[in-house]
Chains A and B, each alone.
Chain A
Amino acid sequence: MSLNKINSFIDVDLFFQKYFLKNTLTNNYVLAETYREVINAGKLFYYETASNVFLLVEKENFYQLYFFLNNLNENVHLVTDKPITMEIVYRGAQNKPLDLIRFWERNEFKEHLTRDNFSLIHGKLNQIELNKTSVQLKYAETTEEAYLVKQLFEGALDKYTGDLMSINEIFTFINNKNIICAYLGNQFCGALQFEVKNNIIWLGHIVTDLNFRGNGIANLLVKKYIEDNTLGDQSRYQLWVINDNIAAKSLYTKFGFIYTNKSTTSLLKL
Protein backbone atom coordinates (compact mmCIF):
# COMPACT_ATOMS: atom_id res chain seq x y z
CA MET A 1 0.00 0.00 0.00
CA SER A 2 1.29 3.44 -0.82
CA LEU A 3 1.90 6.40 1.41
CA ASN A 4 -0.34 9.34 2.15
CA LYS A 5 0.94 12.81 2.80
CA ILE A 6 0.30 14.54 6.11
CA ASN A 7 -0.57 18.19 5.63
CA SER A 8 -1.47 19.23 9.13
CA PHE A 9 -0.01 18.90 12.60
CA ILE A 10 -3.53 18.11 13.79
CA ASP A 11 -3.39 14.85 11.82
CA VAL A 12 -0.28 13.78 13.74
CA ASP A 13 -2.06 14.63 16.98
CA LEU A 14 -5.00 12.46 15.91
CA PHE A 15 -2.66 9.57 15.10
CA PHE A 16 -1.14 9.88 18.55
CA GLN A 17 -4.57 9.78 20.16
CA LYS A 18 -5.64 6.79 18.11
CA TYR A 19 -2.47 4.71 18.08
CA PHE A 20 -0.17 5.78 20.92
CA LEU A 21 -1.76 3.72 23.68
CA LYS A 22 -0.65 1.89 26.75
CA ASN A 23 1.78 -0.86 25.65
CA THR A 24 2.20 0.58 22.16
CA LEU A 25 5.61 -0.23 20.75
CA THR A 26 7.17 2.84 19.21
CA ASN A 27 10.49 4.14 18.03
CA ASN A 28 9.14 7.67 17.87
CA TYR A 29 11.68 10.06 19.27
CA VAL A 30 10.50 13.01 17.22
CA LEU A 31 9.39 16.04 19.17
CA ALA A 32 6.47 18.29 18.26
CA GLU A 33 8.64 21.03 16.79
CA THR A 34 10.33 18.62 14.41
CA TYR A 35 6.98 17.27 13.26
CA ARG A 36 5.91 20.81 12.46
CA GLU A 37 9.09 21.40 10.46
CA VAL A 38 8.75 18.27 8.31
CA ILE A 39 5.04 18.89 7.71
CA ASN A 40 5.78 22.44 6.59
CA ALA A 41 8.45 21.06 4.27
CA GLY A 42 5.92 18.59 2.82
CA LYS A 43 8.02 15.63 3.89
CA LEU A 44 5.82 13.72 6.32
CA PHE A 45 3.78 10.72 5.17
CA TYR A 46 1.79 7.96 6.83
CA TYR A 47 0.65 4.44 6.28
CA GLU A 48 -2.15 3.06 8.41
CA THR A 49 -3.38 -0.45 9.15
CA ALA A 50 -6.22 -1.52 11.41
CA SER A 51 -4.17 -1.25 14.61
CA ASN A 52 -0.89 0.35 13.64
CA VAL A 53 0.36 3.53 12.07
CA PHE A 54 3.68 4.35 10.45
CA LEU A 55 5.00 7.87 9.98
CA LEU A 56 7.67 8.37 7.34
CA VAL A 57 9.91 11.40 6.95
CA GLU A 58 11.23 11.84 3.45
CA LYS A 59 14.99 12.37 3.21
CA GLU A 60 17.14 12.87 0.13
CA ASN A 61 17.78 9.16 -0.55
CA PHE A 62 15.38 7.32 1.74
CA TYR A 63 12.44 7.52 4.14
CA GLN A 64 12.96 7.47 7.91
CA LEU A 65 10.24 5.40 9.53
CA TYR A 66 8.62 5.85 12.96
CA PHE A 67 6.20 3.15 14.02
CA PHE A 68 3.36 2.88 16.53
CA LEU A 69 2.66 -0.83 16.83
CA ASN A 70 -0.30 -2.25 18.68
CA ASN A 71 -0.65 -5.54 16.85
CA LEU A 72 2.37 -7.51 15.72
CA ASN A 73 0.22 -9.97 13.81
CA GLU A 74 -0.69 -7.46 11.15
CA ASN A 75 1.32 -7.49 7.98
CA VAL A 76 3.00 -4.35 6.75
CA HIS A 77 3.78 -3.96 3.09
CA LEU A 78 5.11 -0.47 2.50
CA VAL A 79 5.47 0.66 -1.09
CA THR A 80 7.72 3.67 -1.59
CA ASP A 81 9.88 5.18 -4.31
CA LYS A 82 12.98 5.13 -2.07
CA PRO A 83 14.43 2.73 0.50
CA ILE A 84 13.08 2.92 4.05
CA THR A 85 15.19 2.91 7.17
CA MET A 86 14.39 3.03 10.87
CA GLU A 87 16.27 3.13 14.14
CA ILE A 88 15.33 1.21 17.26
CA VAL A 89 17.05 2.51 20.37
CA TYR A 90 17.49 0.36 23.47
CA ARG A 91 19.43 0.19 26.70
CA GLY A 92 22.32 -2.23 26.41
CA ALA A 93 22.76 -5.42 24.39
CA GLN A 94 20.76 -7.42 26.94
CA ASN A 95 17.70 -5.30 26.13
CA LYS A 96 17.91 -5.56 22.37
CA PRO A 97 14.26 -5.87 21.24
CA LEU A 98 14.60 -9.10 19.31
CA ASP A 99 10.84 -9.72 18.95
CA LEU A 100 10.42 -6.32 17.39
CA ILE A 101 13.32 -6.90 15.02
CA ARG A 102 11.90 -10.29 14.01
CA PHE A 103 8.56 -8.59 13.32
CA TRP A 104 10.21 -6.19 10.91
CA GLU A 105 12.20 -8.98 9.31
CA ARG A 106 8.91 -10.75 8.60
CA ASN A 107 7.78 -7.53 6.95
CA GLU A 108 10.56 -7.15 4.38
CA PHE A 109 13.15 -5.27 6.47
CA LYS A 110 16.68 -6.41 7.19
CA GLU A 111 18.80 -5.64 10.21
CA HIS A 112 21.43 -3.17 9.07
CA LEU A 113 23.86 -1.57 11.53
CA THR A 114 24.10 -1.33 15.29
CA ARG A 115 25.63 1.73 16.87
CA ASP A 116 26.67 2.35 20.46
CA ASN A 117 26.51 5.66 22.27
CA PHE A 118 29.71 6.85 23.96
CA SER A 119 30.12 9.83 26.25
CA LEU A 120 32.91 11.73 27.97
CA ILE A 121 32.88 14.33 30.74
CA HIS A 122 35.89 16.61 30.40
CA GLY A 123 36.93 15.98 33.98
CA LYS A 124 37.42 12.30 33.05
CA LEU A 125 39.48 13.05 29.95
CA ASN A 126 42.65 11.00 29.66
CA GLN A 127 45.65 13.05 28.66
CA ILE A 128 47.03 11.39 25.56
CA GLU A 129 50.55 12.02 24.34
CA LEU A 130 50.50 11.77 20.57
CA ASN A 131 53.53 11.09 18.43
CA LYS A 132 55.06 14.04 16.65
CA THR A 133 53.61 14.34 13.22
CA SER A 134 53.60 16.64 10.25
CA VAL A 135 49.82 16.49 10.00
CA GLN A 136 48.31 19.98 10.06
CA LEU A 137 44.85 20.70 11.40
CA LYS A 138 42.69 23.66 10.47
CA TYR A 139 39.04 24.61 10.46
CA ALA A 140 37.40 24.27 7.06
CA GLU A 141 36.87 27.65 5.42
CA THR A 142 36.60 27.37 1.67
CA THR A 143 34.10 26.08 -0.86
CA GLU A 144 36.73 23.65 -2.08
CA GLU A 145 37.07 22.24 1.41
CA ALA A 146 33.30 21.91 1.69
CA TYR A 147 33.24 19.66 -1.37
CA LEU A 148 36.30 17.71 -0.20
CA VAL A 149 34.59 17.04 3.12
CA LYS A 150 31.37 16.01 1.38
CA GLN A 151 33.21 13.61 -0.89
CA LEU A 152 35.23 12.13 1.95
CA PHE A 153 32.19 11.54 4.17
CA GLU A 154 30.04 10.15 1.36
CA GLY A 155 32.78 7.72 0.40
CA ALA A 156 33.09 6.32 3.89
CA LEU A 157 29.77 6.59 5.72
CA ASP A 158 26.63 4.52 5.39
CA LYS A 159 24.30 6.21 2.88
CA TYR A 160 21.13 5.34 4.79
CA THR A 161 22.03 5.77 8.43
CA GLY A 162 25.22 7.82 8.33
CA ASP A 163 23.39 11.15 8.50
CA LEU A 164 25.11 12.33 5.36
CA MET A 165 25.12 16.10 5.08
CA SER A 166 23.98 18.17 2.15
CA ILE A 167 26.42 20.74 0.79
CA ASN A 168 24.32 23.50 2.36
CA GLU A 169 24.52 21.80 5.76
CA ILE A 170 28.28 21.54 5.32
CA PHE A 171 28.48 25.25 4.52
CA THR A 172 26.53 25.99 7.68
CA PHE A 173 28.89 23.87 9.76
CA ILE A 174 31.85 25.61 8.13
CA ASN A 175 30.38 29.02 9.00
CA ASN A 176 29.95 27.84 12.59
CA LYS A 177 33.55 26.53 12.70
CA ASN A 178 32.27 23.00 13.23
CA ILE A 179 34.48 21.16 10.74
CA ILE A 180 38.16 20.43 11.34
CA CYS A 181 40.27 19.33 8.37
CA ALA A 182 43.54 17.41 8.43
CA TYR A 183 46.30 17.89 5.87
CA LEU A 184 49.50 15.97 5.31
CA GLY A 185 51.67 18.25 3.24
CA ASN A 186 49.17 19.76 0.84
CA GLN A 187 47.02 16.67 0.80
CA PHE A 188 43.58 16.76 2.40
CA CYS A 189 43.49 13.54 4.44
CA GLY A 190 40.71 13.67 7.02
CA ALA A 191 37.92 15.64 8.63
CA LEU A 192 35.80 15.81 11.77
CA GLN A 193 32.43 17.51 12.10
CA PHE A 194 30.84 18.37 15.42
CA GLU A 195 28.02 20.50 16.78
CA VAL A 196 26.78 21.72 20.14
CA LYS A 197 23.24 20.64 21.01
CA ASN A 198 21.71 21.08 24.46
CA ASN A 199 25.14 21.72 26.00
CA ILE A 200 26.55 18.49 24.59
CA ILE A 201 29.37 18.68 22.08
CA TRP A 202 28.37 15.98 19.61
CA LEU A 203 30.98 14.40 17.38
CA GLY A 204 28.91 13.88 14.26
CA HIS A 205 31.29 12.53 11.66
CA ILE A 206 34.96 11.67 11.50
CA VAL A 207 36.74 10.10 8.52
CA THR A 208 40.38 9.57 7.60
CA ASP A 209 41.10 9.07 3.91
CA LEU A 210 41.86 5.40 3.26
CA ASN A 211 45.24 6.29 1.77
CA PHE A 212 46.37 8.10 4.91
CA ARG A 213 45.31 5.72 7.65
CA GLY A 214 47.94 4.75 10.20
CA ASN A 215 49.21 8.30 10.64
CA GLY A 216 47.29 9.01 13.85
CA ILE A 217 45.07 11.50 12.06
CA ALA A 218 41.87 10.47 13.85
CA ASN A 219 43.64 10.82 17.21
CA LEU A 220 44.70 14.35 16.31
CA LEU A 221 41.23 15.32 15.11
CA VAL A 222 39.52 14.00 18.24
CA LYS A 223 42.08 15.68 20.51
CA LYS A 224 41.54 19.03 18.81
CA TYR A 225 37.76 18.61 18.88
CA ILE A 226 37.94 18.12 22.65
CA GLU A 227 40.56 20.77 23.40
CA ASP A 228 38.85 23.47 21.35
CA ASN A 229 35.48 22.86 23.01
CA THR A 230 36.35 22.85 26.66
CA LEU A 231 34.23 25.04 28.90
CA GLY A 232 35.26 23.29 32.12
CA ASP A 233 35.32 19.90 33.77
CA GLN A 234 31.62 19.45 33.14
CA SER A 235 31.89 19.81 29.35
CA ARG A 236 30.22 16.79 27.83
CA TYR A 237 31.13 15.07 24.58
CA GLN A 238 29.04 12.41 22.92
CA LEU A 239 29.03 10.28 19.78
CA TRP A 240 27.61 7.18 18.12
CA VAL A 241 30.03 4.54 16.88
CA ILE A 242 29.30 1.43 14.82
CA ASN A 243 29.21 -1.51 17.19
CA ASP A 244 31.82 -3.61 15.41
CA ASN A 245 34.23 -0.76 14.65
CA ILE A 246 36.77 -1.95 17.19
CA ALA A 247 39.47 0.51 16.10
CA ALA A 248 37.20 3.52 16.57
CA LYS A 249 35.92 2.28 19.92
CA SER A 250 39.48 1.75 21.07
CA LEU A 251 40.39 5.30 20.06
CA TYR A 252 37.47 6.85 21.93
CA THR A 253 38.04 4.68 25.00
CA LYS A 254 41.66 5.80 25.07
CA PHE A 255 40.48 9.38 25.48
CA GLY A 256 38.14 8.37 28.29
CA PHE A 257 34.83 7.94 26.46
CA ILE A 258 32.61 5.29 28.01
CA TYR A 259 29.62 3.35 26.69
CA THR A 260 26.40 4.92 27.99
CA ASN A 261 24.49 1.64 27.81
CA LYS A 262 22.48 3.00 24.92
CA SER A 263 22.53 1.41 21.47
CA THR A 264 20.53 1.67 18.29
CA THR A 265 19.90 -0.90 15.61
CA SER A 266 18.86 0.26 12.17
CA LEU A 267 16.63 -1.75 9.86
CA LEU A 268 16.49 -1.25 6.15
CA LYS A 269 14.11 -2.05 3.32
CA LEU A 270 15.63 -1.48 -0.09
Chain B
Amino acid sequence: MERLLEILSGIRPDIDFVNEKKLIDGGSLDSFDIVSIISELNDEYDIAIRVTELKPENFNSTEAIMSLVEKLKNTN
Protein backbone atom coordinates (compact mmCIF):
# COMPACT_ATOMS: atom_id res chain seq x y z
CA MET B 1 0.00 0.00 0.00
CA GLU B 2 2.86 2.39 0.78
CA ARG B 3 4.32 2.01 -2.68
CA LEU B 4 0.91 2.65 -4.21
CA LEU B 5 0.56 5.81 -2.13
CA GLU B 6 3.96 6.93 -3.40
CA ILE B 7 2.86 6.35 -6.98
CA LEU B 8 -0.43 8.17 -6.54
CA SER B 9 1.18 11.10 -4.77
CA GLY B 10 3.71 11.31 -7.58
CA ILE B 11 0.88 11.75 -10.05
CA ARG B 12 -1.21 14.16 -7.96
CA PRO B 13 0.82 15.53 -5.05
CA ASP B 14 -2.02 17.89 -4.16
CA ILE B 15 -4.41 15.10 -3.12
CA ASP B 16 -4.72 13.39 0.26
CA PHE B 17 -4.77 9.79 -0.94
CA VAL B 18 -4.77 8.42 2.62
CA ASN B 19 -8.06 9.95 3.70
CA GLU B 20 -9.92 10.80 0.51
CA LYS B 21 -12.56 8.15 -0.27
CA LYS B 22 -14.35 9.85 -3.14
CA LEU B 23 -11.49 10.58 -5.48
CA ILE B 24 -13.64 10.34 -8.59
CA ASP B 25 -17.12 11.09 -7.27
CA GLY B 26 -15.77 14.06 -5.33
CA GLY B 27 -14.03 15.44 -8.39
CA SER B 28 -10.43 15.14 -7.15
CA LEU B 29 -9.42 12.82 -9.98
CA ASP B 30 -10.60 12.95 -13.57
CA SER B 31 -10.36 10.46 -16.40
CA PHE B 32 -6.96 11.80 -17.43
CA ASP B 33 -5.65 11.07 -13.94
CA ILE B 34 -7.05 7.55 -14.26
CA VAL B 35 -5.06 7.05 -17.45
CA SER B 36 -1.92 8.31 -15.72
CA ILE B 37 -2.53 5.99 -12.78
CA ILE B 38 -3.14 3.02 -15.07
CA SER B 39 0.09 3.71 -16.89
CA GLU B 40 2.01 3.75 -13.62
CA LEU B 41 0.26 0.61 -12.36
CA ASN B 42 1.12 -1.20 -15.57
CA ASP B 43 4.77 -0.36 -15.07
CA GLU B 44 4.96 -1.01 -11.36
CA TYR B 45 2.89 -4.18 -11.03
CA ASP B 46 3.14 -5.52 -14.58
CA ILE B 47 -0.60 -5.80 -14.90
CA ALA B 48 -2.86 -5.14 -17.84
CA ILE B 49 -5.98 -3.12 -17.11
CA ARG B 50 -9.05 -4.15 -19.03
CA VAL B 51 -11.61 -1.70 -20.28
CA THR B 52 -14.21 -3.34 -18.05
CA GLU B 53 -12.23 -2.10 -15.06
CA LEU B 54 -12.32 1.51 -16.24
CA LYS B 55 -15.09 2.57 -13.92
CA PRO B 56 -15.09 5.25 -11.25
CA GLU B 57 -15.65 2.92 -8.31
CA ASN B 58 -12.30 1.22 -8.96
CA PHE B 59 -10.50 4.52 -8.47
CA ASN B 60 -12.43 6.25 -5.69
CA SER B 61 -9.90 5.45 -2.97
CA THR B 62 -6.41 4.07 -2.52
CA GLU B 63 -7.96 0.90 -1.09
CA ALA B 64 -10.14 0.46 -4.18
CA ILE B 65 -7.14 0.92 -6.48
CA MET B 66 -5.15 -1.57 -4.40
CA SER B 67 -8.02 -4.08 -4.64
CA LEU B 68 -8.01 -3.65 -8.40
CA VAL B 69 -4.27 -4.24 -8.56
CA GLU B 70 -4.56 -7.38 -6.42
CA LYS B 71 -7.41 -8.67 -8.55
CA LEU B 72 -5.49 -8.09 -11.78
CA LYS B 73 -2.30 -9.59 -10.40
CA ASN B 74 -4.26 -12.75 -9.67
CA THR B 75 -5.89 -12.90 -13.07
CA ASN B 76 -3.02 -11.87 -15.35
Contacts and interface: CB of A to CB of B under 8 A. Distances in A.
Nearest to A12: B51
Interface in A212-270: 236, 262
Q: Which 10 A-B pairs have the closest CB atoms?
A: A198-B27, A29-B31, A199-B27, A200-B27, A16-B51, A32-B54, A89-B32, A31-B54, A22-B42, A29-B32
Contact of B35 (A12, A22, A26): A26
Contacts of B46: 22
Interface in A16-53: 16-17, 20-24, 26-33, 35
A198 B26 contact: yes
B27 A17 contact: no
Interface of B: 24-27, 30-32, 34-36, 39, 42-43, 46, 48-56
Interface string A169-209: 00000000000000000000000000001111000000000
Interface of A: 9, 12-13, 15-17, 20-24, 26-33, 35, 89, 91, 197-200, 236, 262
Contact of B51 (A13, A200, A262): A13
A22 B34 CA distance: 15
Given A28-B35, A31-B31, 16 more contacts: A9-B51, A16-B50, A17-B48, A23-B42, A23-B43, A26-B39, A27-B35, A29-B32, A29-B34, A29-B35, A31-B34, A89-B35, A197-B27, A198-B24, A198-B25, A198-B30
A23 B43 CA distance: 7
A198 B25 CA distance: 5
B32 A21 contact: no
